[in-house]
Amino acid sequence: MWSSRLAFILAASGSAVGLGNIWRFPYLASDNGGGAFVLIYLGCIALVGLPIMAAEILMGRHGRMSPVNTLRKLTSEGGHSKGWVVIGWIGMAAAVMILSFYSVVGGWTLHYAWLYVEQLFGGAPITDPDATFTAMLGSPGTLVFWHTVFMLLTVGVVAMGVEKGLERAVKFLMPLLFLILLGLFAYGLSTGKVGQAFEFLFTPDFSKVHGSTWLAALGQAFFSLSLGMCGIMTYGAYLPRDISIPRVAATVALTDTSVALLAGLAIFPVVFAFGIDPAGGGPGLIFTSLPLAFNDMAFGIPYAIAFFVLLAVAAWTSSISLLEPPTAFIVEKGRFSRKSAALLAAAVIWALGLVTALGFNVWASVRIFGRDLQGAVEFIASDLMLPVGGLLIAVFAAWVLRKDISRGELPDLGNGGYTAWKVLCGILAPGMVLLILYMKLAG
Ligand code: TRP
């Protein structure tokens, strides 16, 4: 059990805040034209993410087991079809795919932290960030090495069951990351480009919006909040009865969204100040822009080390929450200890991560859905599987789950509030997911 409301909020925020906020949000905003994407993303957080987060937490708290077993319990209790257990399966598959590329990108942050440590001891400065980034992608050895290190760090914590220890450290490290971002924002003020960054991020230009913009924003809302794969359900299982679900869900969503927006406001002034094209920054955006700021500012090297190390820590706490569901699943199959289950899951995910790592070099010419291998895995898991998983969770919670259960888990909502949650979860959220998937398919 979480000892308090704060403990739950910290743990869930540790899962939510990660590469999604600081690496993925700025690059998607860049690729999708800025303001309109950000507006749709915020709308998806409020209207789709929040109600589904409440649904995941309440299902978890009622079931009090791992996602697949929670779904088994909820369906057999209510006499519903066992088919709903498929939600747990989709979630596990999505977690495996997401962690496979997440770990490679986590490795990028470790590699950059290392490059700056070397610089501190006289290594060559990063004068041409584009070239440094391209060189990293071109080197299978570098990518696989740091991917392996990142995966070992993740599996180490899960196998040894020391998540609690990491969470204690995170209490100090995450606020520090927030301060580092604030510092970058302050640096941005000195460049005089903050206004331009605001305009780019918050002035919607709907002429730039396509089906793919909507889907990217929806997928990012799920990705950033760690929703749609029953991860938050796992956390809900440990939430005491007397804690208000809507309040903790709102707090976690607000924390997560603030970090993403702050990251955007820290990065785009740098992008504009150094004349980088804000359109189509791609997954390299923070790695090709921020080093220019680090070169320019006072104490840039230690600042860069702090930034990349703290970003790696944020990624680490998120990756642990991605390794949990497959590990729990293998343990429940019975024949493995927790330690070997974590190792087995990590080995499979590590191997799948090679697809991402080698997709940048050896298999660079391979295209799926017009994307490179990393882009394809990222797209299928984050933009298709998470929204579909979330849709099923929402429909299950609103239409299938017995009303006395959901009402009982949301006692602090008045009747109006409860009805609003039901409408959002049962009609609006599934409707938006279906509409957006349709818009994308229809081109
Ligand atoms: N939300 C995390 C981030 O933004 C990534 C993450 C952790 C995640 N657990 C998840 C994404 C579960 C989807 C589902 O970096």
In whole angstroms, give the CA distance from residue 312 to residue 379: 22
Give yes or no for residue 36 having a pLDDT over 70: yes
Give the range with max mean pLDDT: 158-162, 327-331, 427-431. Answer: 427-431
- 371: phi then psi, degrees, rounded to nearest 5: -120, 160
Question: What's the token pair of residue 252?
Answer: 């976690």
Q: Is the minimum distance from the CB of 390 to ligand 1 under 6 angstroms?
A: no
The reply to whether ligand 1 has any atom less than 6 angstroms from the CB of 223 is yes
User: Could you read off the pLDDT of 277-301 as tens digits, one per residue?
Assistant: 999 889 999 999 999 999 999 999 9
In short, whether 219's Cβ falls inside 6 Å of ligand 1 is no
Q: With 70 as the cut, is the pLDDT of residue 84 above it?
A: yes
Cα(242) to ligand 1 centroid in Å equals: 27
Tell me: pLDDT of 10 over 70. Answer: yes
Check pocket membership of 224 for ligand 1, CB cut-off 6 A.
Answer: yes
Select the more confidently predicted residue: 193 or 327.
193
> In the chain, what percentage of residues exceed pLDDT 90?
84
The pLDDT of residue 248 is above 80? yes
Q: Which atom of ligand 1 is nearest to the CA of 319?
A: 7
What is the reported pLDDT for 6? 84
The four Cα atoms 171, 201, 102, 226 give a dihedral, to 10 degrees, of 60
Ligand 1 atom nearest 225 alpha carbon: 1
DSSP states of 359-394:
HTTTTTT--BTTB-HHHHHHIIIIIIIHHHHHHHHH
CA–CA separation, 246 vs 51, rounded Å?
Answer: 8
pLDDT band at 1 (very low <50, low <70, confident <90, very high): low
Q: Is 20 in the pocket of ligand 1 (CB under 6 A)?
A: yes
Residue 96's alpha-carbon distances to 73, 80, 221, in angstroms, are 24, 28, 19
Whether 345 and 330 have beta carbons less than 8 Å apart is answered as yes
Indicate if ligand 1 lies below 6 Å from the C-beta of 220.
Answer: no
pLDDT over 90 (residue 335): no
Burial profile 402-441: b = 16 or more Cβ within 10 angstroms, e = fewer:
eeebbeebbeebeeeebeebbebbbeebbebbeebbebbe
Of 185, 239, 300, nearest to 56 by C-alpha is 239
- 315 Cα: distance to centroid of ligand 1 (angstroms): 9
pLDDT of residue 280: 86
pLDDT over 70 at 183, yes or no:
yes
pLDDT digit string, tens, across residues 380-423: 999 999 999 999 999 999 999 999 999 999 999 999 999 999 99
Model pLDDT, residue 234: 87
- The pLDDT score that the predictor gives to residue 8 is 87
Residue 169's pLDDT is what? 78
- Give the position of tokens 């990756």: 319
At residue 50, the pLDDT reads 97
With 90 as the cut, is the pLDDT of residue 46 above it? Answer: yes
CB 266 within 8 A of CB 184: yes
Residue 435 has pLDDT above 80, yes or no: yes
Ligand 1 centroid distance, CA of 100 (Å): 12
Q: Which residue blocks in 237-369 are alpha helix, DSSP H?
A: 245-273, 285-296, 300-332, 338-359
Residue 270 neighbours by CB under 8 Å, 6+ apart: 184, 187, 188, 191, 193, 276, 289, 290, 292, 293
pLDDT tens figures, 112-156:
999 999 999 999 999 999 999 999 999 999 999 999 999 999 999
Residue 332: pLDDT above 90? no
- Cβ-in-10-Å burial (0-12, 13-18, 19+) of 298 comes to exposed
**Ligand 1 centroid – CA 234 distance (Å):** 13
